[in-house]
C-alpha cells in the first residue's frame, strides 16, 4: 500500500469507549447511495448527523456516514475499499475514488474510526484528518455519543473544505480602519505643500484677473476718447469777427 493510499485510508484506533455488544458481527456491504447507514444501532438520535450530512451535501461533497457493528478481520480500511469497489457512485470514471467523496466510518466492536476522502480534498484535509478523528470524533465515541462524534467530524471537515475553496479576500479581511485602529494622520509636509500650491494658484488667478480688468478699462477709455475727438472734428467752425474801434 502506497503512502498516498495510507494517508487516505489509515484508521485511528479508539483508546476506549463503552461497547454494548459482546461479540463482533460482520456487516454486509451497505446500500451505496444511502447517506447514513447505522448497522450497529449506535446513532441513537441522528438529527445532528443528518444536519451535518445535509450541510456537506450542499457544500458539494458526496458524503457517506457508516456506523458498523464490526467489520471482517477488524479491517475498516479494507472494508471501506470493498464498498468503494462495489459502489459506482463512490467511483470516478477510471474506477478510482471519486474526487469529492467523503466517508466517515466507525467500527464499534473493533474500536476503530476512519475518514476517507477523494483527491479534491487533499489540500484541506491532507494534514487535518488525524486531528479531526483524534480531537473531535474519538472523544465523543469513547463516551458512547456516536451522533455528536460523527456530526463533529463532518462539520469540521466541511469547514476546512469551504475555507480552502473560498479563501477570504482583501475585502473580507478589511481595508479601512476599525474601531480599534486609528487612521494615520496626514503628513505635515504634504499638507503645507498642498496649502502653498492652493495659495499660489489663488494669487495667480488674482493677478491674471486684475490684468484683464485693467486692459478692458484702458480699451474702454481709449474708445471714449476717440469718440470725443471724432465728434469735435465734425463740429462746424464759427468765424471770428474782428471789430475795429
Average pLDDT in the chain: 79
Domain boundaries, the chain: 3-166
Query: Which residue, among 127, 126, 74, 60, has the nearest Cα to 105 in the 3D structure?
Result: 74
For 90-122, what is each residue's pLDDT tens digit?
Answer: 999 999 999 999 999 999 999 999 999 999 999
Query: Which residue, among 97, 92, 89, 103, has the nearest Cα to 11 in the 3D structure?
Result: 103
The arithmetic mean of pLDDT across residues 70-75, rounded, is 95
C-alpha cell at 66: 457508516
| Alpha-carbon separation of residue 178 from 22, 175, 181, 184, 220 (angstroms) | 60, 9, 5, 12, 63
For the beta sheet containing 36-38, the strands, ordered from the edge strand earlier in sequence to the opposite edge, are 12-13, 112-117, 101-107, 62-68, 36-38
Whose cell is 450530512? That residue is 53
Which of 102-106, 223-227, 232-236 is predicted least confidently?
A: 232-236
For 12-30, what is each residue's pLDDT tens digit?
Answer: 444 444 333 333 333 344 4
The arithmetic mean of pLDDT across residues 168-179, rounded, is 54
Residue 82 pLDDT > 60, yes or no? Answer: yes
Please state which architecture CATH assigns to domain 3-166. Roll (3.10)
C-alpha cell at 37: 447507514
Residues 6+ apart with CB under 8 A from 66: 30, 37, 39, 80, 83, 103, 104, 105, 106
Report the percent of the chain where pLDDT is more than 70. 73
| Residue 125 neighbours by CB distance under 10 Å | 23
Under the banding of pLDDT at 50, 70 and 90, the label for residue 43 is very high
Amino acid at each position: 500500500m502506497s503512502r498516498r493510499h495510507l494517508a487516505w485510508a489509515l484508521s485511528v484506533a479508539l483508546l476506549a469507549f463503552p461497547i454494548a455488544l459482546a461479540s463482533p458481527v460482520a456487516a454486509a456491504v451497505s446500500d451505496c447511495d444511502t447517506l447514513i447507514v447505522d448497522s450497529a444501532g449506535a446513532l441513537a438520535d441522528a438529527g445532528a448527523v443528518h444536519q451535518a450530512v445535509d450541510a456537506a451535501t450542499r457544500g458539494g461533497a458526496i458524503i457517506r456516514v457508516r456506523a458498523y457493528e464490526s467489520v471482517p478481520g477488524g479491517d475498516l480500511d479494507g472494508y471501506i475499499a470493498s464498498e468503494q469497489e462495489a459502489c459506482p457512485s463512490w467511483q470516478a470514471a477510471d474506477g478510482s475514488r471519486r474526487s469529492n467523496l467523503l466517508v466517515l466510518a466507525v467500527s464499534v466492536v473493533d474500536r476503530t474510526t476512519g475518514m476517507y476522502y477523494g483527491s479534491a480534498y487533499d489540500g484541506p484535509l491532507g494534514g487535518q484528518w488525524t486531528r479531526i478523528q483524534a480531537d473531535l470524533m474519538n472523544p465523543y465515541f469513547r463516551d458512547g455519543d456516536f451522533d455528536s462524534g460523527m456530526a463533529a467530524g463532518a462539520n469540521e471537515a466541511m469547514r476546512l473544505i469551504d475555507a480552502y475553496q473560498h479563501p477570504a479576500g482583501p475585502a473580507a479581511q478589511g481595508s479601512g480602519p476599525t474601531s480599534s485602529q486609528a487612521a494615520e494622520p496626514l503628513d505635515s509636509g504634504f499638507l503645507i505643500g498642498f496649502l502653498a500650491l492652493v495659495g499660489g494658484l489663488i494669487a495667480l488667478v488674482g493677478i491674471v484677473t486684475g490684468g484683464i480688468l485693467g486692459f478692458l478699462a484702458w480699451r474702454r477709455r481709449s474708445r471714449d476718447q476717440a469718440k470725443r475727438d471724432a465728434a469735435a472734428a465734425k463740429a462746424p467752425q464759427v468765424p471770428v469777427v474782428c471789430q475795429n474801434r
